[in-house]
Amino acid sequence: MARAATTSDAFNAIAEPRRREILAYLAVRERPVGDIVAALKVEQPSVSKHLRVLRNVGLVHMRCQGRQKLYRTNAEAIRPLHEWTGTFERYWQNQLQRIKERAEHKTKALQVSNAKEES
């Protein structure tokens, strides 16, 4: 089955690690392209391409200030991604809690066993 175009879906757009890096960098504040290029050590054409994809799916906004283009994240568009990944966060927290409880139970059983052997 053909994969959906990265420009049509936010989930496909963030499948690219470099785009996730750009989103994380923009999460702090609005930034010009030059700052993104310098911070991520990526060529300007590549950054511009990734920003275009992120803009097309609505994950970032762009505004012009003179000759400079400033980019910022679109929190409303990112919310569904966050909510979806939250499902897995709850799952893994539950799994880790179960592992912790099993380890504590085994540790306690081992301590009881060792105490019996010593007496």
Q: Both 68 and 105 in a single domain? A: no
Name the residue range of residue 20's domain. 10-73
Please state whether the predicted TM-score (pTM) of the whole model is above 0.75: no
What does each C-alpha distance from 110 to 30, 90, 96, 100 come to in angstroms?
55, 30, 21, 15
Is the confidence at residue 3, as pLDDT, over 70?
Answer: no
For residues 26 and 60, is the Cβ–Cβ distance under 8 A? yes
For residues 82 and 73, is the Cβ–Cβ distance under 8 A? no
Q: 92 lies in a domain?
A: yes
Q: 2 lies in a domain?
A: no
Q: Both 67 and 94 in a single domain? A: no
Q: Both 88 and 66 in a single domain? A: no
pLDDT at 35: 96
Q: Both 26 and 63 in a single domain? A: yes
Domain count, the chain: 2
What does each C-alpha distance from 117 to 33, 106, 109, 112 come to in angstroms?
68, 16, 12, 9
Q: For the residues 47-70, what does the mean pLDDT come to?
A: 94
Render pLDDT for 68-111 as a digit per residue (tens, 0 to 9).
Answer: 999 999 988 888 887 878 888 888 888 889 999 999 988 888 88
Q: Both 18 and 52 in a single domain? A: yes
pLDDT at 7: 60
